[in-house]
């Protein structure tokens, strides 16, 4: 994509004339290439053969910045010598401003994702990861290039991988929310439990992408296991206690019956 030229709409010199003259001179002597950004005030002043103060004054009057996409073609005569330059210009200001806004929004989202303490990732409609945040790289000790695509499967516990892939493929087909608990290997080689979640987003262009996170729940899982074990231990103790009470009741009943027999 060619870099659009920044144009000052308030220059005293007619817009088409100052653009044509400056770039015609630049192209013919090889100083400017098609698609380059508008030169500095010093370069423009030299190209326009006016004082730098005149150009600087014109820049001071700038109230709006626009963008032109300029195309130039040398016109040659029968001998091959250049007689002139054929130029076409298009106002691409709306498209460039829209692109700049989109790039700014994307940069803001990436900054926010990198600031989050959890693993953040996005995937294409076919399930291939195409972005991971900085926290993901730090956690696994791997670069983003090693993780995106299907690279993430290398850090999933082998016992969990078939179940995770099956769940992921099913969500890709149904567009249902993705949620799965699985173990991931960190940069030290230890496996820790994570909760993976993702939702599909359909843009205005009908393109589908997935936004997901992986949250470390290892400590919570251990606590749940401890609580479950405590309940199981308590249940066993209650069962043994009930058995002991039943045995005591039977022995007591036998003693009562023996006393009644002696008394009669």
CA nearest to 47, candidates 24, 72, 30: 24
Mean pLDDT (the chain, rounded): 78
In the predicted model, what is the mean pLDDT of residues 157-163? Answer: 97
For residues 198 and 171, the answer to whether their CB atoms sit within 8 Å is yes
Which of 57-71, 207-221, 226-240 has the weakest average pLDDT? 57-71
Checking if the pLDDT of 17 tops 80, the result is no
Strand pairing of 191-202 and 178-185?
antiparallel
Strands, DSSP E only, in the chain?
A: 5-8, 65-76, 82-91, 119-124, 129-132, 178-185, 191-202, 208-216
Rounded to an integer, the average pLDDT of 62-77 is 72
Least confident of 186-195, 197-206, 216-225: 216-225
Number of H helices, E strands in the chain: 8, 8
Is residue 260 over pLDDT 60?
yes
Q: Give the separation between CA 189 and CA 220, rounded to whole angstroms.
A: 20
Is residue 85 within 8 Å of residue 24, measured between CB atoms?
yes
Note the pTM of the prediction, 2 decimals: 0.54
Cβ(27)–Cβ(85) below 8 Å: yes
Higher pLDDT pick, 187 / 53: 187
**Residues whose CB is less than 8 angstroms from the CB of residue 28 and which lie 6 or more positions away in sequence, other chains included:** 82, 85
Instruction: Please state the rounded mean pLDDT for residues 220-231.
Output: 75
Q: 229: exposed, middle or buried (C-beta count within 10 Å: 0-12, 13-18, 19+)?
A: exposed
Contact 28, 82 (CB under 8 A): yes
Q: What is the pLDDT of residues 122-141, one digit of tens each?
A: 999 999 999 999 999 999 99
Catalogue all structural domains in the chain, each as residue range(s) with its CATH number. 5-98 (no CATH), 117-216 (3.30.450.20)
- Cβ 191 vs Cβ 185: under 8 Å: yes
pLDDT recorded at residue 5: 40
Of the listed ranges 45-59, 147-161, 180-194, the one predicted with least confidence = 45-59
User: Confidence band (pLDDT; 50, 70, 90) for 92?
Assistant: confident
Predicted confidence at residue 27, as pLDDT, reads: 52
Q: State residue 182's pLDDT score.
A: 96
When comparing pLDDT for 224 and 162, which is higher? 162
């Amino acid at each position: 994509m060619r870099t659009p030229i920044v144009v000052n709409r308030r220059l005293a010199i007619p817009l088409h004339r100052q653009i044509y003259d400056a770039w015609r001179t630049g192209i013919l002597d090889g100083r400017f290439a098609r698609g380059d950004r508008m030169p500095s005030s010093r370069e423009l002043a030299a190209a326009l053969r006016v004082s730098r103060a005149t150009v600087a004054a014109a820049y001071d009057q700038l109230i709006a910045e626009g963008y032109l996409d300029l195309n130039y073609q040398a016109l040659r005569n029968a001998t091959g010598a250049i007689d002139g330059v054929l130029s076409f210009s298009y106002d691409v200001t709306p498209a460039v401003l829209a692109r700049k806004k989109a790039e700014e929004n994307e940069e803001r989202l990436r900054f926010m994702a990198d600031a989050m303490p959890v693993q953040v990732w996005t995937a294409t409609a076919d399930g291939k990861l195409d972005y991971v945040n900085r926290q993901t790289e730090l956690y696994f000790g791997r670069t983003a290039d090693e993780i995106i695509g299907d690279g993430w499967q290398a850090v999933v516990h082998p016992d969990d991988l078939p179940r995770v892939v099956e769940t992921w493929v099913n969500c890709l087909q149904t567009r249902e929310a993705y949620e799965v608990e699985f173990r991931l290997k960190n940069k030290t080689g230890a496996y820790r439990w994570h909760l993976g979640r993702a939702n599909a987003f359909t843009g205005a262009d009908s393109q589908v992408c997935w936004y997901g996170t992986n949250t470390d729940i290892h400590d919570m899982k251990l606590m749940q296991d401890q609580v479950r074990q405590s309940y199981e231990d308590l249940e066993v103790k209650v069962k043994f206690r009930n058995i002991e009470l039943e045995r005591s009741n039977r022995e007591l009943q036998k003693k009562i019956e023996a006393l009644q027999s002696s008394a009669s």
